[in-house]
Amino acid sequence: MSETKHSPLFVTLEGGEGTGKSTVIERLSNDLRERGYDVLTTREPGGSKLGEQIRVWLLHHKPDVKVGDYAELLLFLAARTQHLEEIILPALNHGKVVLCDRFNDSSVAYQGAARGLGMEAVEKQCELACRGVSPDITLFMDVDPKIGLERTRKTVKASASEGQVDRIESEELAFHENVLQAMRLLAKKHPERIKTIDASQPLDDMYTHCLEVVLDALEVHRV
């Protein structure tokens, strides 16, 4: 593997459904590579082979298979531990910029707040699962869930059978509103790490803000 000429940077993208995370990650990876950065893009749940298997259990499993709230959290965390050990940490050790679609903040917002397991309790479990590893910077894509869900439902997702919404997306609107409020709380709690992006803006404007934040962070972490 080639050695990079810049410091590693661990960037996560967070937000509700259809807030533009995958779109932004794709554009960021292209722009950063053009600027000479060594970039790895990845996602949660998923990233590793085990994580991708767990993703199917979590999002696209048969409707008659029950997944309790705590089992759901532990499955996300199992996928994350493997992802971190097998993919993210080795990439950071090689000096790469890692762009990860969702990470611990999703567990805190979805399982901690929206499922009701408790935000602080889930934050502690995430710290244990990640042995304290945390992103350097997080882009929080903030938009009304009605808009995000509408965008998602219009998008035919290759990973979902026949473009159907997945198990968590299909939760009621109040669930997604709880996720948004929890993410806003997290952004207030960790202002040095979590940067809020207005995801109701046109895509190009939203993307420009994301790129600025990441370039600033790269400058701060420059070797």
Residues interacting with ligand T5A, by CB under 6 A? 15, 17-23, 44-45, 59, 76, 101-102, 106-107, 110-111, 151-152, 155, 166, 168-169, 199, 201-203, 206
Q: What is the DSSP string of 143-177?
A: --HHHHHHHHHHSPPTTSGGG---TTTTS-HHHHH
Q: Which is nearer to ligand T5A, 107 or 138 (CB)?
A: 107
- Can you tell me which residue has the tokens 């085990």? 50
Strand partners, 38: none
Of the candidates 47, 8, 9, the residue with the CA atom closest to the CA atom of residue 214 = 9
Minimum Å gap between C-beta 72 and ligand T5A is 7
Closest contact distance (angstroms) between CB of 36 and ligand T5A is: 25
| CA angle in degrees (0–180, nearest 5) for 114-135-126 | 45
For residue 97, the minimal CB distance to ligand T5A (Å) is 19
- Which residue, 57 or 94, has its beta carbon nearer to ligand T5A? 57
User: Which residue, 59 or 213, is less far from ligand T5A as judged by CB?
Assistant: 59
User: Shortest gap between Cβ of 136 and ligand T5A (angstroms)?
Assistant: 18
Closest CA to 141 of 187, 191, 190: 187
